[in-house]
A = this chain, B = another copy of it.
Amino acid sequence: MSLATLDTSQHPNLPRSSETLFKAKASKKLSFEQIANHIGRNEVAAAAIFYGQAKASPEDIHKLAALLDIPPPTLEEQLSGFPDRGRSVEMPPKEPLIYRLYEIVQNYGYAYKAVLNEKFGDGIMSAISFSTKVEKETDKDGNNWAVITLRGKWLPFSRF
């Protein structure tokens, strides 16, 4: 199995922690599934920490340092701030896999809005009070299917 890696020459705007973490991951030959299991988080969240898109708790940092053999002070220093999110993908995405997700928003955006509004009223699905996961299904013909679940709190617009 191949592992996801990071080539910093392609991602010059990611935080230094990304380089530290991906380098150690490659050296330890660990998958995000293994890392996620170790720190007790979802593997998308684990990957998001690696890309500087999610905050690691002190305990996460502790466990990551141990698993990946990174000196804890280094990781603490690099992960102690607040993530500066949104810098990993340049929009519209050029990467084909990520573009497909973007295309889903482009094509079905108003359909989601119409259905959500009718089900919940005037508001939005939060992307903050939010979790997501990825699952793999194989149908009876042996085809693989990716299933991504997005779960966000419904926030009604305040009346003022």
Show the binding face of A for B, using Cβ within 8 Å: 1-7, 9-17, 26, 31-33, 41-45, 47-48, 50-55, 57, 77-78, 80-89, 91-134, 136-137, 143-160
B111 and A51 contact, CB distance less than 8 A: yes
Return the chain B residue nearest A88 by Cβ.
B110
Contact A118 B159 (CB under 8 A): no
C-alpha gap A159/B40 in the complex (Å): 11
A135 → chain B, closest Cβ, in Å? 9
Are A143 and B134 CB-contacts (below 8 A) given A44-B108, A92-B92, A107-B85?
A: no
- Report if A113-B127 is in contact (Cβ < 8 Å); known contacts: A2-B82, A16-B9: no
Closest 3 CB pairs of A and B: A86-B94, A5-B81, A131-B160
Asked if A144 meets B153 with Cβ closer than 8 Å, knowing A32-B118, A96-B103, the reply is yes
Whether A106 pairs with B122 at a CB distance below 8 angstroms is: no
Neighbour of A12 across the interface among B9, B17, B86, B127, CB < 8 A: B9
Q: How far is the CA of A105 from the CA of B23 in the complex (A)?
A: 25
Task: Indicate whether A26 sits within 8 Å of B150 (C-beta atoms), given known contacts A85-B107, A88-B109.
Answer: no
